Structure 1
Amino acid sequence: MAFVLVYGDALSPQRLAFPLLALPMLPLVALRPLPGALAYLLLWTALLHTPAAFPNDVLAPTAVFLFLLGRFLPPWSALALASVLPVAAVVPLGLYQTAVHQLFLLSCSLIPGMLLRHRDLALQREISSAADHLAYTRAVAREMHDLVAYSMSQAALRAQRAAADSTYPAEAQKEFSAIAAAAVDALHELRLVLGPLRRGQRFWPNSSLTHPDALGVDLETAVQAISDDLAASGFSVTFHSTGDSQCSRLQAATLSRVAREMGANILRHGTTYQPVTITLARRPEQVRLVMTNGVSVATSHNLPASGTGIQGMRERLAAIDGTLATLKEGDTWMASATVPLSPSSSTFPETP
């Protein structure tokens, strides 16, 4: 009865046989595309040469067949096999109307299958690339931990032993204590960064790195510490802090790291013959950090320079909609970091 309603003609064994044979071939096309496609094309050829059967008897299965061809076979292979349907109707039998119907069906079913295959392959490539990147990140994190963390641990331990050695002058012991504290802090932050990477976790600005229990950043205290470090290194430093507007944990963590990089640049390229001015202005609409220092033409230190400090600061600030401006006039260098405090400017929401 269903066959009569669909095809509008009397039920016959020949007409019923082809749809019933076509249906079980469709899963075969999905599981074994090439053998399944060849089997279906043989069935199609047999249908064309059966007088009591009509091509429209397998219209719906053929539409599914063409979609599966595009989905599971390469484009040119799928197109070559699909073209057998209209060609087999025209070349030996001259069924031009049937060929036109098959071409229309081909355009409606084969192309969507091809598009789906293309999307799936692109997704697989992205997944493979992400997996390779994750493996590389883990390897780099492991090497950094094994090499850098070991050296920093040794430096901290040796500085602590020297600070406890009474044979050194009190001033030297104080310097050793400062070195040990800086090494321990740096080692702690290094492990905070490398820990999630070694475990294969995604690293976001509001992840464990900027968790309040991990950093507990107070921006003014962090900038004051950098000012003290510069002063201890022989620079004449003036630190100004104005305003009391509060920024988010993420903004404070980012600005503290930018301030640290600014301080590192002063140590690398600055001169102790000119004063250093640090200004932290916390206004209701924005927070601005400005550092001004003299530039030394010939540095007397052997501190390594990566050449990516300014770019790194720009990238950090851009993540929170902030900006970095630099200016060099004569032998004076100025760096200014600005972060907006409007609610809409927060790129990543804070977690409670």
Structure 2
Amino acid sequence: MRWALVAVPMVAAMPHADLRAWLLIGVTLALSIPLLWIHDARVRPLTTALPLAVIATTGALWVLLPSSWASVAMSSTTFFVVLRQSTVPIVLAVGLDFAAITAGAARYDVWKGALSTYAVLAVIVLMGLNRRARLARIEQTELALARAQTANEEHARAAALAERARIARELHDVLAHSLAGLALNLQGARLMLVRDGASPDAVAQIERAQTLASEGLAEARKAVAALREDAVGVERAIADLLAAYRLDSGARADLQVEGEPRELGPAVGTALVRAVQEALANTRKHAGQADVAVTLNYAAGSVELTVADRQGRRPPDAPAAGYGLRGMGERVALLDGRLESGPGEDGWRIHLTVPA
């Protein structure tokens, strides 16, 4: 739709075009094609220059062919510049519009008509600013809702953990202690029966009861450990870290899992989660609101983790590894793994491989 607002007026102007107009139409169409893919991008040199160039060429075409629809293309492009760009491009876009309207009025001596055109330009700018403010409010509302949902989930998780801890205490204080006392009493009873020369069947029954009590005690201890540790999978832990980063920075943070996921050892899982945590902390510190991509690859006999931020430029080499990267390297080395970190073409990249 946005591209059509530029292309259709250009096509409509073709029947009345001379050589200069044809040149402007061709340049405008060529410049407008990339806007199909970059109109939603934030302010960058390309996304700023192309709309301004389209405004300039359509304004010039409108001056040459005042009866054409070139003003529609100029106005619609101005609207989307006001909607998406920062203050400087907006001022430049309005200045180009003002210059085109003034040049047309001076060339054809239609200053009275120019006043209404200036008013239309002002209305377009105000509409763009109003739409921009509305989108910003919607974005803030969605962000607030996401944060509220996260807070509710954390509250529910904290309540669940508190309940699990209470159940674990009850199991430990009542059931585990009772089973431990029962096992000790049965052991004493068995020794007394052996001392008094009781029948082998009676001793065997006591031994079986002692075995059941011991097994029940072991299972109770396992249940207490499971309730208190509340183990979380590596993928879930990394996804939670990325969700927190998205809410904090507003940037994208994606996790891609490759290969067949499998259960990892506690040391390996901790190393992977801590590596993502340290990488995100460094991104917050050195790259602001850069997008982050995390890849977790379950290879044969090993697991690979790649964390890359997209800063849009090659970052400078770090003078020395910080304590976080050193600790990460030491943790990976203890697992006989490998760690690589350094600047890439458009950001910082960390890659580690650990046997698993």
Please give the TM-score of this superposition, normalised by the length of structure 2.
Answer: 0.35
TM-score between both structures, scaled by the size of structure 1: 0.35
